[in-house]
A and B are shown apart, each in its own frame.
Chain A
Amino acid sequence: MNALTDTVKASSANAATAAGQGRAVLAAYRRRVRWRVGALVLLGALCVAAFVLDIMTGPSTLSPGEVVAGLLSPDGVSNAQRTIIWNVRLPYALMALLVGAALSLAGAEMQAILNNPLASPFTLGVSSAASFGAALAIVLGISLPFLPREWMVSLNAFGFALGSVMLLQLMARLRSTSVETMVLLGIALVFVFNALVAFVQFASSQAALQQLVFWSMGSLSRANGQNVSVLAVVLALVAPFSLAAAGKLTALRLGEDRARSFGINVGRLRFFALLRVSLLAATSVAFVGTIGFIGLVGPHIARLMLGEDHRFLLPASLLTGALVMSLASTVSKVLVPGVMLPVGIVTSIIGVPVFLLLIFWRPGGAS
């Protein structure tokens, strides 16, 4: 009897400890979620701060007060000041945020579906295809009757980038879709398109070559109201689908078979993720040229801070990309006042130290 009561006591004690453990795990989980939500809020706040800094910085002597006044009541400032604020600083700063967010989100999805930390939107030839599309538009001077010529280069770049992903998808379908095949095919596409661009350069006249070189140097200074809005719309349409797929992507990171056992159609997941990546990357490249570093490192910075849970990793990547790009935009204006440095150079100068800092000093949230 005693023994029995002892057993009962023991088992109830066990249950109590199990419940206690469960509570502890839950509490730890909640703490982690709180930290992650907090980190997202912090990143968001940093993005806003970087954007404000970007808007306030420039080679002219506008004071922060004048910038705010110009933003609030455009008619209250001089013609030149209004142009600087509304036609130069605002579109450039918005474009920096949007391009950074788009490329970094695309990179995070790419790294998830290919299960490859070296993947970025440009690994599978998206950017090479875009360059080839732009090169053809520039060299052949093709145009459509209803479209201004300046949009043709962007449109063609976009078409080729999207086409390259479709081609990749098609080839991957013909053979059984494995990640390795896909990466290999993508790398083959990179080389094919690079060779084609080189050939176009070789065959084109001096004038077209010059234009091509200028086009391929990534620059935020092509930003204007129209293309900023287009990229904003693309990002707003694509990002919700990315976030909706976050849970499945997390499962995919546990392994393809594991993901299948959860009832996830991996092929379909991969296809739509690729589609989103190509939309984001192609639109960005079409408007600002090649800015390579963000798509690779933005997601890694987010991962080092927040770990693998894609429900947090994807929005965090979006924010880290926007943050780094926005800071880079500010620095590119400040380094040599009056001169536009190619922003791609600056993204590396800004991004690498942040990246190294995180690798050597991991904040508590990293799992």
Chain B
Amino acid sequence: MDITLFHIVGAGAISAAAGGLLGSFALLRRMALVGDALSHVALPGIALGLLFHFNPFVGSLAFLVFGTTLIWAVEHKTNLPVDTLVGVLFVLALAVGALLTPEHELLEALFGDISQLSATGFWVSLLLGGVIIVALLMLWRKLTLTMISSELSKSTGIRPHVVEFFFLTLFAFVVALGITFTGVLLIGALVIIPAAIARNIATSMGAYMFLSSLIGVLGAIGGILASYFFHIAPGPAFVILLGTLFFLSIIGKLR
């Protein structure tokens, strides 16, 4: 199968839709920055994939699932300060990953390049993106309740720890999925910015979730087209486009 601009836009759009939807919950729990730091843990996985000639996607996914499990375990099984530990460990992972990654591949790993998408990558994006979106839509009530109060959630018979574990696993999937698009350093933007914009506009949870995905998709299409016509990297183009929109939404809100 030849990869065309159409395929690239499709893969970028579904990554951004999944990222935006997930982000709407991440922002409820004020875990935007934990998520951002978490994405750094993907880099050693990518590096190992490149060094030992297996698919870097598999490496990054394995490291991310390990990272999210670690966050969850530290939060629920120990009294250690989560933010500090996450901050230190995951920056450490970024440093180790940066040293391990072959130099000519480092830029792509850090900032992504979806224009290099393979046929396998396209189908994996479609499948994984679809799974993440369906899972989030099935879980949204439990997720929302758990994010706003784990005690209230528990009182209704939900098991908040289990819900949080699912959420973090989906977070790992989103990061692994989005990394080809925005790279390790900018992946936080895929999750945070669309939700942050939607939050400035929406007045209901339904609208918030929908707008967050939609803004992600529009940003992805815009970013990829900009990169195609102006020969710039698509990840940074996406971030700059949505970052600008975010500030416009703040101005709109203040007026």
A, B bound: no
Residues of B within 8 A of A (CB): none
Residues of A within 8 A of B (CB): none
